[in-house]
Structures are given as C-alpha cells and as structure tokens.
Amino acid sequence: MSDTELQTLRDFILRAASRFPRGITTTTLAISVAAAGFELPDSGPDALPAQLRYLAGKKLIEPATKAHTPSLETWLLTADGDDYLRTKRIP
C-alpha cells in the first residue's frame, strides 16, 4: 500500500473505533475495513494487526481486555486518538 492509502486506512480505523465508546473488536474492525473496500493481506506490515499495533504505539488506540472475555481482542480510542480526529476534522 502507498503511504496515502495507509494513512487513509489508519484514519478509517480510528473513525470506526470512535463509533464504539466501549471498544470495538478486531473482528468488527476487519469486517468494517473489508466493507469499506480496503484489501489487506493476512500478514505482513500492511495487515490489520500490524496497523492496530502501529496506532497503539502512537497512543491513538489501546487494547481493552474485558474480564469476562479476555480472549476477545477489543480496542478503545484514546483521548489522543479523539484529539487527532478532531484536529484533522475527520467525522
């Protein structure tokens, strides 16, 4: 993917996470990304898990483990992620 496509994907992931204040699962994100027309490989630097780790490293999202479902990987938008979306005016 080009740098522009990667940034568009990352913005989409943040926007999707912002719609779920209690967290969005990796599965829901994968379905949303595919429905939006992004074609991601299953592994490698452009894969969804790599993008989630990148955004978590930038402190824009964070993993949220639920006590009753620890195996269900859920992601929350952080305050920095919310500020990023507002600064960029991404609805």
Total of domains in the chain: 1
CA distance linking residue 37 with residue 52, whole number of Å: 18
Q: How far is CA 90 from CA 9, 38, 73, in A?
A: 13, 18, 25
Q: Look at the pTM and tell me if it is higher than 0.85.
A: yes
Q: Residue 70 is part of a domain; what is its CATH number?
A: 1.10.10.10
Per-residue pLDDT for the chain (91 aa), expressed as one digit of tens each? 788 999 999 999 999 999 998 899 999 999 999 999 988 887 777 789 999 999 999 999 999 877 677 678 899 999 999 999 999 887 6
Q: Which range marks the domain in which residue 23 is found?
A: 3-88
